[in-house]
Amino acid sequence: MKVIETTVYVAPSGVFTVQEKLDLPPGRYRVVVIANETPEPEGPRPPLDLPVLDVGPWPEGLSLRREDMYGDDGR
């Protein structure tokens, strides 16, 4: 099985075509199409507005070496 994720344009007639170069030999295939209930907006997506938590500067002498963060058993 091959999973192909792409964006399509549905014409006013309800017909769409997939314009994706597929690495499949010519022939007849069974496909499953899953569509969102609403169309995707045109144009670029707005930037993500992620929350920011400022906890100040890192402590002096902070070591993030693996050997300093984990015990002798490696955890």
pLDDT per residue over 2-37, tens digit each? 777 777 878 889 888 877 777 888 888 888 888 888
Cα atoms found within 13 Å of the Cα of residue 67, Cβ hemisphere only: 0
φ, ψ (nearest 5 deg) of residue 45? -75, 150
Q: What is the residue-wise DSSP string for 5-71?
A: -----B-TTS-B-------S-SS---------SSPPPSSPPPPP--------SPPTT----HHHHS-
- For residue 48, name the pLDDT band (cuts at 50, 70, 90): very high
